[in-house]
Amino acid sequence: MKIYSRISGTGSFLPPRRLTNADLVQELAAQGVETNEKWIVERTGIQARHFAAVGVCSSDLALEASRLALQAAAVDARDIDLIIVGTSTPDMVFPSTACILQSKLGTKGGAAFDVQAVCSGFIYALTLADAMIQTGAATKALVVGAEVFSHILDFKDRSTCVLFGDGAGAVVLEASKTPGILASDLHADGSFSDILCVPGHVSGGQVLGEPLLKMDGPAVFKLAVGVLDEAARAVLSKAGKKASDIDWMIPHQANIRIMQSAARKLKMSMDKVVVTVDQHGNTSAASIPLALDTAVRSGQVKPGDLLLLEAVGGGFTWGAVLLKL
Ligand code: UT7
């Protein structure tokens, strides 16, 4: 009999320090960086974001989100045989944040590794976990997106530092006789690696190159709207579904204008799009599981709903997953 995978629980966590645009504008002004609330809201849709304290790592946020997802799924951490963390802000160069998370959860033995696909990290991680469950390599997976992007922001660069936030989201994905995940589609084009990157690296006991985020926003924006539509259409076609079948689109939360364009291309109303970018900012790999959990817990998204998850990010990477909750 064919084995499918299905989400059995979701969880998320935001660090307690919340900065509204007004708070951030004031902090940046004190450092001589000029921006304003009107620009941030009009160009991005962001109104607030959360920043983790210095010393708080992705695994700390992942732990809280994972505990909630395990609780929602009524699964004991000791029964998890696979942990995949999508992150571009790992706790260390190595070991992986997934291994650190496993230890913090008090478990051992199952496979644990990170996926580095920047903002597409959760879509990549979910696709991998689904494939491993389908082949019988795993039965109960914890799939996490966790980021502390505030730690790699250049607070002198107003074109990027107002966009990102920190947080984590997690799902428990279990083997099932009925499909949950219906189709997925992953892509990358490394020739665009320089339009969104953190170019620094560790060598000889030093960080060589700039260890802060650089982005050509308009170039990313232009590519994003095209590839998101391609990925969305690919998963719909693979699953034999139409855009009108989708109950909720949960896109990567980077910019409300990208989300509006993605919905418009599929002729979907924004009433069917889960939006959390206003309150979370862009939390990279954490943004989709954070939005999913927020929508599940508010009752917006319900069991049985058909969900389109789609993301685009540094690499350049992009992809989509179509699933029944
Ligand atoms: O998560 C991975 C994927 N990332 C994304 O999807 C991000 C994609 N890109 C974007 O969301 C948008 O390109 C941005 C929000 C980053 C920028 O929006 P834009 O409409 O493309 O603006 P722009 O970069 O073309 O800048 C327009 C103007 C410039 O001024 P001039 O040259 O027209 O006078 C900027 O200097 O806005 C100015 N500007 C700002 N002004 C006030 C840029 N940042 C700010 C700021 N406050 N924070």
Average pLDDT for 79-104: 98
CA atoms of 171 and 183, how far apart (whole Å): 17
Ligand 1 neighbours (beta carbon < 6 A): 35-36, 39, 43-44, 119, 158-159, 162, 217-218, 220-221, 224, 254-255, 258, 282, 284, 312-313
For residue 309, the model assigns a pLDDT of 98
For residue 256, the model assigns a pLDDT of 98
Average pLDDT for 287-316: 98
* Residue 200, Cβ density class (10 Å: 0-12 exposed, 13-18 middle, ≥19 buried): middle
For residue 1, the model assigns a pLDDT of 86
Average pLDDT for 315-324: 98
For residue 152, the model assigns a pLDDT of 98
Whole-Å CA distances, 220 to 113, 122, 178, 254, 255: 28, 19, 37, 11, 11
Domains and CATH numbers, the chain: 4-177 (3.40.47.10), 182-324 (3.40.47.10)
Residues acting as catalytic residues: 119, 252, 282
283 pLDDT band, cuts 50/70/90, is: very high
Q: Where are the beta strands (DSSP E) in 204-253?
A: 206-208, 214-215, 248-251
CA atoms of 207 and 88, how far apart (whole Å): 16
Average pLDDT for 18-28: 98
For residue 202, the model assigns a pLDDT of 95
For residue 195, the model assigns a pLDDT of 98
Kindly report the protein residue whose alpha carbon is nearest to atom 16 of ligand 1.
Answer: 217
pLDDT at 274 over 90: yes
Per-residue pLDDT tens over the stretch 34-90: 999 999 999 999 999 999 999 999 999 999 999 999 999 999 999 999 999 999 999
Q: What is the mean pLDDT of the chain?
A: 98
CA atoms of 178 and 175, how far apart (whole Å): 9
Question: Looking at ligand 1, which atom is closest to the CA of residue 255?
Answer: 11
